């Protein structure tokens, strides 16, 4: 059965490419997805799959009921795009100004639709059920995952699996690890209020720019001097806004940034130290501060048993040399919320372009990926479903 499903997946390749390129040409950014979920629901319905629309606002959930009773396994793909202008010179370039699939979500969606099509034709051989979670708004807080979970997308689910195409990994390989796999992602915005005045009379002012610069410099010491060197953290200031003229001392300054960590204690430390340092600098330099700290997505924590389950399948299907244990990535994904509710894991599928000159990082205006990677992730998802439902009592 599994070999046959894999062959059928290969036969679906051209269709998956067509779906992927359609989504790529007509991207919809987070919380503006209208036509994308309609198209997904139309394809799933055409496969005879039970569909629920508007899950958590804009998500789509398809359910395949197997002929025999058993467990329920979920597969997830995100489908939102980014507010980036597509700069690629390809026939399937985005036709929507200022919007682009620059992270592979179009490929995730097309691959899961291919998996859905194949599974729908073998439901009479499935001992259990498959839930197909097509998720909106992964790229923007509060994120579609939490909204879909609240709306019941994980009801009766025993385990969940998902993949992310990665342009930084060679085509043909997959990578994952147990435990912390991607980081949490928090944001902060700091407003410094001083006292403006003439540039020739600084003694009569409280220079908000100077205060903000001092605070930013001190924040850079948190990771190097406060965080356990055996743990990881990233603090980056990405924006700075202040001043109106070269001869006027600014009365206010605003800067913002991001914090990435992999464990709860370090996450709490970073927030605590940011507040302490900014407030301390402001008190020393006679300024005031307003600090807005936003906790974003938590760490993706792969469950041990499910990760071992996946790696055994990947070694069997791809070979040991292509089933990699990789370091955690300081990027964030709201897939973390699913893993807080049910057992499961996340894996990366290598999707680097064959031509190195055409390979760009995620969120780049010229991002693209090797479309054959959709076959790799799709086949592995079929294997995961097959073994989880039909062999679960013996190997899972």
The token pair at 268 is 């709490």
Quote the pLDDT of residue 173: 98
Measured in whole angstroms, the distance separating CA 43 from the mean position of its chain's CA atoms is: 24
Higher-confidence residue of 396 and 13: namely 13
Strands 323-325 and 68-78: unpaired
Whether 283 has a pLDDT exceeding 90, the answer reads: yes
pLDDT digits (tens, 9 = 90+) for 211-269: 999 999 999 999 999 999 999 999 999 999 999 999 999 999 999 999 999 999 999 99
Known active-site residue 124: no
Q: How far apart are CA 389 and CA 146, in angstroms?
A: 26
For residue 390, name the pLDDT band (cuts at 50, 70, 90): confident
* Cβ(175)–Cβ(326) below 8 Å: yes
The one catalytic residue among 28, 33, 78, 80: 80
Q: What is the pTM of this model?
A: 0.92
What's the half-sphere exposure (Cβ side, CA atoms, 13 Å) at 156?
10
Quote the pLDDT of residue 395: 53
Q: Is the peptide bond before 142 cis (omega within 30 degrees of 0)?
A: yes
Quote the pLDDT of residue 176: 98
Quote the pLDDT of residue 391: 74
Quote the pLDDT of residue 396: 55
The one catalytic residue among 28, 33, 106, 138: 138
For the segment 46-53, the average pLDDT, to the nearest whole number, is 97
pLDDT digits (tens, 9 = 90+) for 89-146: 999 999 999 999 999 999 999 999 999 999 999 999 999 999 999 999 999 999 999 9
Proportion of the chain above pLDDT 70, given as a percent: 99
Query: Computed from CA positions of residues 386, 387, 388, 393, in that sequence, does the dihedral angle turn out positive or negative?
Result: positive
Known active-site residue 207: no
pLDDT digits (tens, 9 = 90+) for 333-384: 999 999 999 999 999 999 999 999 999 999 999 999 999 999 999 999 999 9
């Amino acid at each position: 059965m599994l070999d046959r499903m894999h062959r059928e997946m290969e036969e679906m390749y051209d269709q998956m490419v067509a779906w992927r390129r359609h989504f790529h040409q007509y991207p919809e950014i987070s919380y503006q997805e209208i036509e994308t979920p309609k198209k997904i629901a139309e394809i799933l319905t055409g496969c005879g799959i039970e569909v629920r629309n508007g899950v958590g606002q804009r998500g789509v959930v398809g359910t395949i009921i197997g002929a025999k009773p058993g467990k329920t396994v979920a597969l997830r793909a995100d489908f939102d795009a980014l507010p980036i202008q597509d700069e690629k010179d390809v026939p399937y370039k985005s036709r929507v100004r200022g919007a682009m699939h620059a992270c592979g979500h179009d490929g995730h969606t097309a691959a899961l639709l291919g998996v859905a099509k194949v599974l729908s034709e073998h439901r009479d051989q499935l001992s259990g059920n498959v839930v197909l979670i097509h998720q909106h708004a992964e790229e923007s807080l509060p994120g579609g995952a939490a909204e879909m979970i609240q709306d019941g997308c994980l009801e009766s689910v025993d385990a969940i699996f998902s993949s992310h195409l990665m342009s930084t990994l060679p085509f043909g390989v997959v990578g994952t690890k147990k435990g912390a796999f991607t980081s949490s992602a928090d944001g902060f915005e700091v407003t410094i209020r001083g006292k403006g005045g003439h540039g020739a009379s600084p003694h009569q002012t409280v220079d908000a720019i100077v205060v903000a610069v001092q605070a930013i410099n001190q924040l850079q010491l948190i990771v190097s001097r406060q965080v356990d060197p055996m743990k990881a953290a990233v603090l980056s200031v990405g924006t700075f806004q202040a001043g109106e003229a070269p001869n006027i001392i600014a009365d206010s300054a605003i800067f913002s940034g991001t914090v990435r960590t992999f464990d709860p204690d370090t996450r709490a430390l970073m927030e605590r130290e940011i507040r302490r340092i900014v407030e301390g600098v402001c008190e020393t330099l006679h300024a005031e501060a307003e600090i807005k700290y936003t906790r974003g997505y938590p760490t993706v924590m792969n469950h041990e048993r499910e990760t071992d389950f996946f790696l055994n399948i990947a070694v069997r299907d791809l070979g040991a040399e292509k089933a990699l244990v990789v370091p955690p990535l300081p990027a964030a994904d709201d897939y973390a919320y699913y893993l807080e509710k049910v057992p499961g894991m996340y894996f990366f599928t290598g999707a680097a372009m064959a031509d190195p000159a055409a390979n760009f990082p995620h969120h780049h205006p010229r991002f693209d990926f090797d479309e054959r990677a959709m076959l790799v992730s799709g086949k592995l998802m079929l294997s995961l479903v097959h073994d989880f439902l039909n062999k679960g009592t013996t190997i899972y």
